[in-house]
Amino acid sequence: MNLRQPHYRQVMRRRSVLGLAVVLAAMPAWAQTFPAKPLRLVVPFAAGGSTDVVARLVGQKMAESLGQPVLVENRPGAAGAIATDQVAKAPADGYTLLMATTSTHAILPVANPKLPYDPVRDFASIGLVARAPNVLVVSPALQVNTVKELVALAKSRPGQLSFASSGNGTITHLVAELFNSSAGVQAVHVPYKTGVQALTDVVSGQVAFQFDSIVWTLPQVRAGKLKGLAVTGLTRSALAPDLPTMAESGLPGFEGVTWFGFAVPAATPKNVVARLNAELNRALQSRDVQDRMAAQGAEAAPGRPEDMTKLVREDTAKWGKVIRDAGVKFE
């Protein structure tokens, strides 16, 4: 047979093209150009809250460089456990991301031993998105102006001062319990259904103090309805640079922040994780994103996937100890 015959060469070309098409069809989507379709970012809480706002802000910025839309999907329920479990079981192709939080990845695993997912085993970290410190505020009627004065008052009246939170086992509750143990005081927990209700009773003086988001507390502090004593991050907040940290106020190493991060199912290929991490960091370095995030009381936290995984392990151990030592019971 003459291998140079046109007919033969055409047949071989068709077979080669067909063979390549079969191979490509058999390859998973991530092995081809990523991303080739819109991404889904699942937020395990209701629309309108800080978690949702930060997710949409960063997702929109990432979409610009990814060349594909990042569609935010809110799936509230069971303190975030329902959506988190669904993402853990989603296809590991990089197209389904979770807005993970302190609650879903560090508190719930301790609170509920029967949780259907493991925050480390079932997820691959993309990277931290932001950290949001709380502020320690007190009622003006309490007549204390510093953390040291609050500690001294609480020690002089063991079991008599109370603190408010937005519910049992929430980060606002656990940060206050961390304060109790770190300062060696015995303030009594008064849980509320919402942070707004809790803050109202601190303003009125019915409850002595509270740890809550800087976004909600700062307007009350500036209006003179509350006194701000300190922020719970390791560094001062740009929103209130005059407020010292808890560490600066006599409690070395004290930190109690809410963090947000992106995660995907554990088996997601490393090259996809690396691409998503690079685009996340690119978005977080945008001045516009940083400014709009600050309006939510959050600070951009770019970094490596392993930084987030390390934080998940450390916070699980940290809050687990607080929960056990304080005997926190979850509803």
pLDDT along the chain (331 residues), means of 10: 46 44 43 87 92 96 97 93 97 98 94 92 98 94 95 96 92 96 96 86 94 89 95 92 96 96 98 98 97 91 97 96 90 66
pLDDT of the residue at 228: 97
Neighbours of 215 (CB within 10 A): 16
The CA distances from residue 232 to 153, 205, 270, in Å, are 20, 22, 34
CA distance 214 to 228: 10
Return the pLDDT at 216: 83
- Residue 85's nearest CA partner among 194, 77, 106, 93 is 77
Q: What is the model's pLDDT at position 29?
A: 46
Residue-level pLDDT at 330: 79
Q: What is the reported pLDDT for 267?
A: 97
To which residue do tokens 């069809």 refer? 25
CA of residue 225 relative to chain centroid, distance: 29
How far apart are the C-alpha atoms of 303 and 65, rounded to whole Å? Answer: 18
**Cβ atoms within 10 Å, residue 213:** 21
DSSP β-ladder status, 123-138 and 96-101: unpaired
The kind and range of the H/E element at 147 are: helix 147-156
Is residue 326 classed exposed, middle or buried when 0-12, 13-18 and 19+ CB atoms within 10 A define those classes? Answer: middle
pLDDT at 9: 44
Cα-flanking dihedrals φ and ψ of residue 125, to 5°?
-75, 135
Beta bridge mates, 227: 138
Rounded-to-integer distance, Cα 193 and Cα 205, Å: 18
| pLDDT at residue 8 in the model | 41
- Cα distances (angstroms) measured from residue 13 to each of 3, 114, 132, 297: 13, 57, 59, 60
- Yes or no: say if 34 and 92 are a contact pair by the CB < 8 Å rule: no
CA–CA distance, 88 with 267 (Å, rounded to integer) = 10
Work out whether strand 162-165 and strand 123-138 pair parallel, antiparallel, or are unpaired. unpaired
CA distances from 170 to 33, 121, 152, 205 (A): 41, 24, 26, 22
Q: How far apart are the first and last CA of the chain?
A: 81
Which pLDDT score is estimated for 193?
84
**pLDDT in the model for residue 31:** 45
Helix 50-66 vs helix 287-294: crossing angle, to nearest 10: 170
Query: Residue 273, Cβ neighbours under 10 Å: how many?
Result: 19
User: In this predicted structure, what is the pLDDT of residue 331?
Assistant: 66
Q: How far apart are CA 270 and CA 247, in angstroms?
A: 38
Q: What is the Cα–Cα distance from 253 to 314, expressed in whole angstroms?
A: 14
Say if CB 313 and CB 307 are below 8 A apart.
Answer: no
